[in-house]
């Protein structure tokens, strides 16, 4: 158990800077999810914490000790890889005990720890099998087991669930979260899946193009996204954004006006989540439906916001039978209106 501190961490490959200075402090026992689109540098950041990539600039410390120049094994971390990275010629037992064997821990003790971890992960029956004889979910558990037996102070997960099918992913998500809770080990978890980020994180770090967009609890990021990117990346379906002008607390879209409470003036980007739309036959805004997507619990209606050329999605609870061309009028609660600076993308 330990805190992890990143202080203005940068990474350069040759002359190309891919991570432009990340700073954050991760509390003891916290579950942090780093989320972002592919190529945003999230895996690189994790690998720097693991010690698999060198740090070009800045400082990483684990448990108060600067680890920039330490080998992965000396950082007191354990890592779970996307493709599990199990040793194919070793049994599950040997896979899990390999790190301990290298650390020259007595055989009896290794046996004991492996058995305990196997029990925790319900792998007891499979201890003598080879990884290739296991299913994806079981391999994932073995990879977790390998991390657990070492009793590290930090767990690092690099998209551990992306090779599993959707149903198993939901189950493993809960298992990982539950396990981390019980063991109380600080965890850093990288994913591109915003649902994983929302459901698992104590706090999440939203990254884009090597920069941190926002750090906060899932609900903070959802309710008050600090940047346009964070607003659109978190939440499914993603937030509707359209350009408008604001003058004297009046937001105008074409010749429609909506009162808002803001200090912003001039051109801004306004954002509205599909699920925050209030259907109201007398509402000021409307969309012309182009396509409906019934999901069962709710229905997504895709169309264009009337008065603009921007795509707009509405999420309505329950089943709705809508046909293309239908006009849906709605109102907006000003509290659920997000305004962003058009140039910087920052929240206003």
The residues binding other proteins (CB under 8 A) are 50-52, 71-73, 77-79, 81-83, 85-89, 98-99, 102-103, 132, 146, 150
Please identify, using beta-carbon distances, which residue of 69 and 281 lies nearer to other proteins: 69
Q: What angle do CA 204, 209, 212 make, to 5 degrees?
A: 35
DSSP assignment of 273-321, as one string? Answer: -GGGEEE-TT-SEEEEEEEEEE-SSEEEEEEEETTS--EEEEEEES---
Encode 14-77 in three state secondary structure.
CCEEEEEEEEEEECCCCEEEEECCCCCCHHHHHHHHHCCCCCCEEEEEECCEECCCCCHHHHCE
Least separation in angstroms between residue 177's CB and other proteins is: 22
Enumerate the β-bridge partners of residue 316. Answer: 299
Q: How many CA atoms lie less than 13 Å away from 161 in the CB half-sphere?
A: 23
Residue 26's nearest CA partner among 49, 53, 55 is 49
Identity of the residue, 71 or 263, whose beta carbon is nearer to other proteins in the bound complex: 71
- For 300, phi then psi, to 5°, come to -100, 130
Tell the smallest beta-carbon distance from residue 147 to other proteins (Å): 9
SS3 136: helix
For the CB of residue 102, give the shortest distance to other proteins in the complex, in Å.
4
Query: What's the min distance (Å) between Cβ of 94 and other proteins?
Result: 9
Nearer to other proteins, 51 or 274 (CB): 51
Looking at beta carbons only, is 150 or 338 nearer to other proteins?
A: 150
Distance in angstroms (rounded) separating the CA atoms of residues 323 and 218: 35
In whole angstroms, the minimum distance from the beta carbon of 50 to other proteins comes to: 7
Contacts of 83 (CB under 8 A, 6+ apart): 163
Cβ at position 51, least distance to other proteins in Å: 8
Min dist CB 154 to other proteins, Å, is 11
CB 73 within 8 A of CB 79: no
Cβ–Cβ under 8 Å, residues 41 and 19: yes
Compute the least distance from the CB of residue 75 to other proteins, in Å.
9
Q: How far is CA 162 from the centre of its chain?
A: 12
3-state helix, strand, coil in the chain (%, to 5): 30, 35, 35
Name the minimum Å distance from CB 1 to other proteins.
Answer: 18
Indicate the residue among 79 and 339 with the shorter CB distance to other proteins.
79
Measured CA to CA in angstroms, residue 254 lies from 52, 55, 117, 239 at distances of 53, 50, 62, 20
Cβ nearer to other proteins, comparing 19 with 77: 77
| Residue among 50 and 339 whose Cβ is closer to other proteins | 50
Which residue, 27 or 89, has its beta carbon nearer to other proteins?
Answer: 89
Alpha carbon distance 303, 87 (integer Å): 51
CB closer to other proteins out of 10 and 130: 130
């Amino acid at each position: 158990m330990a805190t992890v501190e990143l202080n203005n961490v940068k990474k350069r490959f040759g002359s190309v800077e891919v991570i432009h200075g990340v700073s954050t402090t991760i509390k003891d026992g916290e579950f942090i999810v780093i989320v972002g689109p592919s190529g945003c540098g999230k895996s690189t950041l994790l690998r720097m914490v693991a010690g698999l990539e060198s740090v070009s600039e800045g400082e990483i410390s684990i448990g108060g000790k600067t680890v920039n120049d330490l080998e992965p094994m000396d950082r007191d971390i354990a890592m779970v890889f996307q493709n599990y990275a199990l040793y194919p010629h070793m049994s599950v037992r040997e896979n899990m005990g390999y790190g301990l064997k290298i650390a020259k821990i007595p055989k009896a003790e290794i046996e004991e720890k492996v058995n305990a971890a196997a029990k925790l992960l319900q792998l007891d029956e499979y201890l003598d099998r080879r990884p290739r004889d296991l299913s994806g979910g079981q391999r994932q558990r073995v990879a977790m087991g390998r991390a657990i037996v070492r009793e590290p102070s930090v767990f690092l997960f690099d998209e551990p669930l992306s090779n599993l099918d959707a149903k198993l992913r939901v189950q493993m998500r809960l298992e990982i979260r539950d396990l981390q809770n019980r063991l109380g080990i600080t965890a850093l978890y990288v994913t591109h899946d915003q649902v994983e980020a929302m459901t698992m994180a104590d706090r999440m770090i939203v990254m884009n193009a090597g920069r941190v967009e926002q750090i906060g609890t899932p609900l903070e990021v959802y309710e008050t996204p600090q940047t346009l990117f964070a607003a659109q990346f978190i939440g499914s379906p993603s937030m509707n954004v359209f350009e408008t002008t604001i003058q004297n607390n009046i937001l105008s879209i074409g010749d429609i006006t909506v009162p808002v409470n803001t200090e912003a003036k001039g051109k801004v980007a306004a954002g509205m989540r599909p699920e925050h739309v209030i259907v109201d036959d007398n509402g000021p805004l409307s969309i012309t439906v182009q396509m409906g997507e019934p999901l069962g619990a709710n229905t997504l209606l895709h169309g264009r916001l009337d008065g603009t050329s921007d795509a707009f999605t509405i999420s309505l609870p329950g089943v709705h039978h809508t046909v293309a061309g239908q006009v849906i009028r709605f109102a907006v609660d000003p509290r659920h209106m997000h305004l962003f600076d058009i140039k910087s993308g920052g929240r206003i």
